[in-house]
Amino acid sequence: MLEEYDIEQLNPRKNPYAKELKKQITIKVSPMVIDYFKEEAGRTGIPYQTLINLYLVDCVKNNKKLDMKWLSDAG
């Protein structure tokens, strides 16, 4: 066994998944949303943050568009 290894020589290929690395952000999310995904995490065995990411990735891949209708003030 060598005392030192040259990492460049051990794995000269670039990581093909480097562009797929996740970026850490901070967002405010409703407790109701967190509770929902935590329940799903318990049911599926997949961490809740991973489930949220999978859902968002599905939205992007399927080009889902937001369709919201706000209730008007009837005051």
**Confidence (pLDDT) at 5:** 75
CA end-to-end span of the chain: 79
The tens digit of pLDDT for each residue in 2-48 reads 788 777 777 667 777 777 788 899 999 999 999 999 999 999 999 99
Task: Spell out the domain ranges in the chain.
Answer: 25-62
Per-residue H/E/C for the chain: CCCCCCHHHHCCCCCCCHHHCCCCCCCCCCHHHHHHHHHHHHHHCCCHHHHHHHHHHHHHHCCCCCCCCCCCCCC
pTM of the full predicted structure?
Answer: 0.66
Bigger pLDDT: 43 or 68? 43
pLDDT of residue 73: 60
